Amino acid sequence: MSKTLSIANFKGGVGKTTSTINIGAALQRLGKRVLLVDLDPQFNLTQSLGISEPTQPIYGALRGEYALTPLPVLRDTGVLDAIPSSLELIKAEIELSAEFKREEILNRLLAPLTPQYDYILLDCPPSLGLLTINAFVSSDDIYVPIEAEFLALKGYAVLNEAIGRIGLSIDKVFITKFDGRKILNRNVSDTITHSLGEAAFKTIIRENVALAEAPTQGLDIFRYAPRSIGAEDYRNLTNEITARG
Ligand SMILES: Nc1ncnc2c1ncn2[C@@H]1O[C@H](COP(=O)(O)OP(=O)(O)O)[C@@H](O)[C@H]1O
Ligand SMILES: [Mg+2]
């Protein structure tokens, strides 16, 4: 059974792309067939995987010019493929808004690919626009990375309410970029864990410079720094994800 997961938050810089890549890479190392989809016009995921100037980025597929075209990233234990993005995707929000069933375009395009993958991870842009709604409509689960900082829970509540209004809900939250030396980080993370209970993953992704360095080499954390705490944290988070079935 294939599972499609959205990694989303209307805030930028919270670790959506880092999480998409490294959860995907961890799943691939478990022997899974994984597809990563870059839905952000800033194409950070595409760049972080070392893909440059893709000939068939997601934008053209959303416009109906060609089918979604996965590029191979890694083939060893499992499969890691990616559908790249490009700057032009910025136009999609407006152009697609006039389309028939505009919230279901991505879902329709992904349908023929789902039998080929165990997991499809959608890296969402930092907004609740049409691209993110398309991701949500295509997803079995919505996962939200948050930083343990001031107003984090307020941000979560706003996002949850907005998602609720379109008849969906956040499945799980996880804390990212956690710095145990910061009292604020510790306090907020305790509050999040207490008030969200089961809705929060137990694994907390700690701040780790290797996680920021890996994409500059076009690598995931397991190939860049397999013994780092970043690798450890994403391995643990991924184990929680696979344990959910
Ligand atoms: N756990 C972490 N520790 C250190 N740096 C991180 C961590 N997670 C993400 N980063 C860095 O923070 C920045 C924002 O992360 P990114 O994944 O691009 O966020 P988003 O996709 O939500 O905008 C990037 O420079 C990334 O390398
Ligand atoms: Mg991103």
Whether ligand 1 lies within 6 angstroms of the CB of 15 is answered as yes
Output the pLDDT for position 88.
97
Q: How do residues 37-79 score in pLDDT, each as one tens digit?
A: 999 999 999 999 999 999 999 999 999 999 999 999 999 899 9
Could you identify the residue written with the tokens 């089918």?
67
> Is the shortest distance between the CB of 13 and ligand 1 below 6 Å?
yes
Count how many Cα atoms sit within 13 Å of the Cα of residue 185 in the half-sphere of its side chain: 14
**Dist CA 241 CA 118 (whole Å):** 13
28 lines ligand 1 (CB under 6 A): no
The range of the structural domain enclosing residue 218 comes to 3-243
At 41, which CATH number?
A: 3.40.50.300
- In the numeric block, the tokens 């670790």 are attached to 15
Q: What length is written for the chain?
A: 245
- pLDDT-derived band of residue 113, with 50, 70 and 90 as boundaries? very high
Side chain identity at 168, as an amino acid letter?
A: L
pLDDT at 245 over 80: no
Report how far residue 54's alpha carbon sits from residue 66's, in angstroms, rounded to the nearest whole number. Answer: 13
Looking at the structure of the chain, the number of domains it has is 1
pTM here is 0.97
Q: Which of 5, 89, 74 is nearest to 39 (CA)?
A: 89
C-alpha of residue 35 to centroid of ligand 1, in Å: 20
Express each pLDDT in 85-112 by its tens digit: 999 999 999 999 988 899 999 999 999 9
* CA separation, residue 174 to residues 72, 99, 123, 221 (Å): 28, 34, 15, 18
Task: Answer whether 17 contacts ligand 1 (Cβ < 6 A).
Answer: yes
Which residues, including other chains, have CB under 8 Å from residue 50's CB and lie 6 or more apart? Answer: 217, 218, 219
Decide the pairing of beta strands 3-7 and 141-147. Answer: parallel
Half-sphere exposure in the Cβ direction for 116 (13 Å, CA): 14
The CA dihedral of 34, 40, 41, 47, to the nearest 10 degrees, is -50
* Ligand closest in space to the Cα of 233: 1
C-alpha to C-alpha distances, 98 to 63, 64, 132, 182, nearest whole angstrom: 12, 14, 16, 47
Cβ(20)–Cβ(133) under 8 Å? no
